[in-house]
Amino acid sequence: MTRLFNLDVQLLHDTALLAISVFVLFLFLSYLLWNPAKKMLQDRKDKIANDIAKATDDKEEAAKLKAEYEAKIKDIDKEADAILAEARQKALKSETKIVSDAKEEAARIIARAEEEAALEKKRVADEVKQEMVTVAALMAKKVVAANMDVTVQESLVDETLREMGDSTWQS
């Protein structure tokens, strides 16, 4: 046997066999361990990428929802202003209606009071006429009883009119 750098054939053979065994073992273990580990890392990488994409999508959706809610809030403010304006208009209409109803009622009350006053005036005038008739009858009785002349009669009429008042007689 020849030696090469103090290596014998047996040592070279054992070394080659060991290298082949290690290489086969490496292939076998890489098939059993490396591929599943590689697959697990790839799955993890894909999951992380999906999570990042999902988070990005969720963030975009949240931004859209936020914009929608802000728009709704602005719309709510506008709607509230519109409702308040409508309520003010209704209140003004109600106020106008109430005031006009009150004026109509006041006009009816005034008209009724004027009617009552006119009726009272007519009643008083009737009473005055009755009084005048009574006074005239008494005067006639006095005139007939005393056989008075015209001057005495006129003085009695003037006296009676003064007692009753000129305003009652003229109205």
Q: How far apart are CA 138 and CA 132, in angstroms?
A: 9
Tens of pLDDT, residues 101-116: 999 999 999 999 999 9
Structural domain includes residue 1: no
Tens of pLDDT, residues 20-62: 999 999 888 888 888 888 889 999 999 999 999 999 999 999 9
Structural domain includes residue 170: no
Q: How far apart are CA 138 and CA 117, in angstroms?
A: 31
Tell me the mean pLDDT in the region 3-15.
77
Contact call for residues 168 and 135 (beta carbons, < 8 A): no
Q: Which domain holds residue 22?
A: 9-164
Structural domain includes residue 146: yes
Tens of pLDDT, residues 19-28: 999 999 988 8
- Show the beta-strand stretches assigned E in 4-159: none
Structural domain includes residue 169: no
Domains: count for the chain: 1
Structural domain includes residue 89: yes
Whole-Å CA distances, 12 to 2, 17, 95, 109: 11, 8, 117, 137
